[in-house]
Amino acid sequence: MSAPNTTVPAALKPGTIEHRVDAGDCVHRGGYDVLATPSVVRLLEEAAMIAIEPLLASGQSSVGSTVDIVHVRPTLRGQLVTATATVVEVDRRRVATRIEVFDDVERIAHGRHERFVVDEDDFGARLAQKAGHATAAGE
């Protein structure tokens, strides 16, 4: 992924993840445990990582940068949720995905999520440096 490329490879498949909503995914509203929006974001990020994986070279990973979703319908604890991310744009290290999330009844969320490709060694070094500063600041 070195040169700019706004054309998405034709053979690239969407990333999909299924998840049964449990208590840890929920907030209590209207007398029911319902899927919380932060849990929707976690699922769409996981789907996007699956979609982007074929674009990554050895030693690369991706990090989320933007999330723009509309969470339009509630989902009850126990329902099955499917999150799908489709790569719609690749521009150097930035990869944009269109996301949709369905429960076993209807579409519950949709929007866009962008990720940046990072070199794992460089990213790990920056995290180690930050961890050193965070530890020093907390003493």
Average pLDDT of the chain to the nearest whole number: 93
Domains of the chain, CATH where assigned: 15-138 (3.10.129.10)
Cα–Cα nearest to 69, from 103, 90, 98, 30: 98
Instruction: Tell me which of 18, 28, 37, 120 is the catalytic residue.
Output: 37
Annotated binding residues for CoA, written as ranges, equal 64
Per-residue pLDDT for 49 more than 70?
A: yes
At 3, the pLDDT band (50, 70, 90 cuts) reads very low
Phi, psi of 30 (to 5 degrees): 60, 30
Question: Is 134 strand, coil or helix?
Answer: helix
Give binding residues as ranges: 64, 115
Question: Per the residue annotation, which of 45, 75, 113, 114 is the catalytic one?
Answer: 45
In this prediction, residue 138 carries a pLDDT of 66
Provide, rounded to the nearest whole percent, the portion of the chain with pLDDT above 90: 86
pLDDT for 5 equals 54
- Three-state SS for 137? helix
Q: Are 25 and 40 in contact (CB under 8 A)?
A: no
Higher pLDDT, 5 or 106: 106
Q: Is the confidence at residue 2, as pLDDT, over 50?
A: no
* 98 pLDDT above the threshold of 60: yes
Quick one: CA dihedral 112, 79, 47, 116, positive or negative?
Answer: positive
Q: What does the pLDDT look like over 59-72, one tens digit per residue? A: 999 999 999 999 99
Task: Give the strand order in the sheet containing 107-119.
Answer: 15-20, 80-91, 94-103, 107-119, 60-71
What would the 3-class secondary structure string for 12-53 be? CCCEEEEEECCHHHEEEECCEEEECHHHHHHHHHHHHHHHHH
pLDDT > 90? residue 85: yes
Is the whole model's pTM more than 0.95, yes or no?
A: no
Nearest one of 76, 81, 87, 115 to 101, comparing CA atoms: 81
- Binding positions for substrate: 64, 115
> Taking the C-alpha atoms of 46, 24, 69 and 93 in order, what is their torsion angle to the nearest 10 degrees?
-30
The answer to whether 45 is a known catalytic residue is yes
- The one catalytic residue in 71, 75, 97, 114 is 71
3-state secondary structure of 6: coil
- Is residue 71 annotated as part of the catalytic site, yes or no? yes
